[in-house]
């Protein structure tokens, strides 16, 4: 089975972690006898430099014509003051691909609780998933404008936009621990009042699933104080952005978290949740795990290659268990390694597992 994958390295540590992801993907191809055709395209700040546009037409076309898209990260100080920013390219890509459902798993590996700066007994067993609305809300709603005296952003949601993301959350909860936590600010925002109403409607179709509503401020606190109380967390675009970076601390680092952005039936977009990390770009310090686990999500969600996805996840787990650490998760013990060495260790275990299994 030949799969076509658009690859957008982007900026900062994006190209460094993408390189690692492709090495691991190559390991999957070797071990399981698949063929993956990867087509690299310029995107983000790199595309602004080359073409004056963070999302060139040719890049978007390749993405739309592919079975899946792998994306590193975009942005950096170089483009912060420019007329057009790399981040606009990312938002335009998500919108154009209609990937409204951003799935961000938060998984604390058993025995690796100490990677988190939080108390191990608190984070132990935490295993939940964000279902973040990705193509609406305050990121996209009009009017959005600015003059000398005033700036305006608008948060708007239609019933239809909320229904489709909430349905995704309930579907996911059906195959997990059957609990949906909907996060909103219904004590203040009209969009949140509608959001809550829609959740209540959808919940009626899933009588076996427990539903709870949390206000976002309290949700932020409980995510740290009682993270095992969550299973599926569904929320709007900006709340999901903020809460998922916060939740990454449970896993040890922002560099650990993958994501899948899914549409109704087009190609999926797979990217770590972190950014371009300008402070460590080019120094070999980037943690490639969020990116590599995004490859696993691609194998699972876009290609239905469950065994292959699990093999990647197992190789990551075993590498961590063996004590290999990039700087962001190095607490003073274990073996401190570069991005490249971390990738090599994961790649090696991917292949080694296959020989030990036969």
CA distances in angstroms from 272 to 287, 293, 295, listed in the order given: 10, 8, 9
Residue number with CB closer to ligand IPM (269 or 305): 269
CA proximity to 69, closest of 222, 232, 271, 256 = 271
Cβ distance 75 to 275 under 8 Å? Answer: yes
Q: Which entry of ligand NAD, Mn ion, ligand IPM, none binds 101, CB below 5 to 8 A by partner kind?
A: none
What are residue 269's DSSP bridge partners?
Answer: 69, 261
Cβ distance 25 to 89 under 8 Å? Answer: no
What is the pattern of x (binds ligand NAD, CB under 6 A) and - over residues 299-338? -----------------------------x----------
Task: State the binding site for Mg(2+).
Answer: 217, 241, 245
Residues 32 and 305: their CA atoms lie apart, in Å, by 10
What are residue 8's DSSP bridge partners?
Answer: 71
Residue number with CB closer to ligand IPM (91 or 189): 91
Number of other CB atoms surrounding residue 218 within 10 Å: 10
Number of other CB atoms surrounding residue 151 within 10 Å: 9
Phi, psi of 213 (to 5 degrees): -110, 130
Taking CB under 6 A as the binding criterion, the range among 84-92, 154-162, 197-205, 289-297 that sits at the site for ligand IPM is 84-92
Q: Which entry of ligand IPM, Mn ion, ligand NAD, none binds 267, CB below 5 to 8 A by partner kind?
A: none
User: Nearest approach, Cβ of 5 to ligand NAD (angstroms)?
Assistant: 18
Catalytic residues: 139, 185, 217, 241, 245
Residues 19 and 343: their CA atoms lie apart, in Å, by 9
User: Nearest approach, Cβ of 121 to ligand NAD (angstroms)?
Assistant: 25
Which of 11, 16, 67, 87: binder of ligand IPM (CB under 6 A)?
87
User: Nearest approach, Cβ of 225 to ligand NAD (angstroms)?
Assistant: 22
Within 13 Å, how many C-alpha atoms sit on residue 85's CB side?
11
Applying CB under 6 A, does 276 fall inside the site for ligand NAD? yes
Name the residues that contact ligand IPM, by CB under 6 A: 75, 87, 90-91, 241, 273, 275
Name the residues that contact ligand NAD, by CB under 6 A: 13, 73-76, 87, 90, 253-255, 271, 274-280, 286-287, 290, 328
């Amino acid at each position: 089975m030949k799969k076509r994958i658009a690859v957008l390295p982007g900026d900062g540590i994006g190209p460094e972690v993408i390189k690692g992801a492709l090495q691991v993907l190559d390991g999957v191809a070797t071990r399981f006898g698949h063929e993956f055709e990867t087509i690299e395209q310029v995107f983000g700040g790199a595309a602004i430099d080359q073409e004056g546009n963070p999302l060139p037409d040719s890049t978007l076309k390749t993405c739309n014509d592919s079975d899946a898209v792998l994306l590193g990260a975009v942005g950096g100080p170089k483009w912060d003051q420019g007329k057009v920013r790399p981040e606009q390219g990312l938002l335009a890509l998500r919108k154009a691909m209609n990937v409204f459902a951003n799935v961000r798993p938060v998984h604390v590996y058993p025995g690796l609780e100490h990677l988190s700066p939080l108390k191990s007994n608190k984070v132990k067993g935490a295993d939940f998933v964000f279902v973040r609305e990705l193509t609406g809300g305050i990121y996209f709603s009009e009017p959005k404008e600015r003059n000398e005296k005033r700036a305006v952003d608008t948060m708007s949601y239609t019933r239809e936009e909320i229904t489709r993301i909430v349905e995704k959350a309930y579907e996911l909860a059906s195959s997990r621990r059957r609990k949906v936590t909907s996060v909103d600010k219904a004590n203040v925002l009209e969009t949140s009042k509608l959001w809550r109403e829609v959740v209540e409607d959808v919940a009626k179709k899933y009588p076996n699933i427990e539903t709870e509503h949390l206000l976002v401020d309290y949700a932020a606190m409980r995510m740290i104080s009682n993270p095992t109380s969550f299973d599926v967390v569904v929320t709007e675009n900006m709340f999901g952005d903020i809460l998922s970076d916060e939740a990454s601390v449970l896993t040890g680092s922002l560099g650990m978290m993958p994501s899948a952005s899914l549409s109704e039936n087009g190609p999926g977009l797979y990217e770590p949740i972190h950014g371009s990390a300008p402070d460590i770009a080019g120094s070999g310090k980037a943690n490639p795990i969020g990116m590599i686990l995004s490859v696993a999500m691609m194998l699972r969600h876009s290609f239905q290659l469950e065994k292959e996805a699990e093999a990647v996840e197992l190789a990551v787990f075993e590498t961590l268990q063996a004590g290999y650490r990039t700087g962001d998760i190095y607490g003073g013990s274990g073996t401190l390694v570069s991005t490249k060495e971390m990738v090599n260790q994961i790649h090696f275990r991917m292949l080694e597992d296959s020989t030990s299994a036969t």
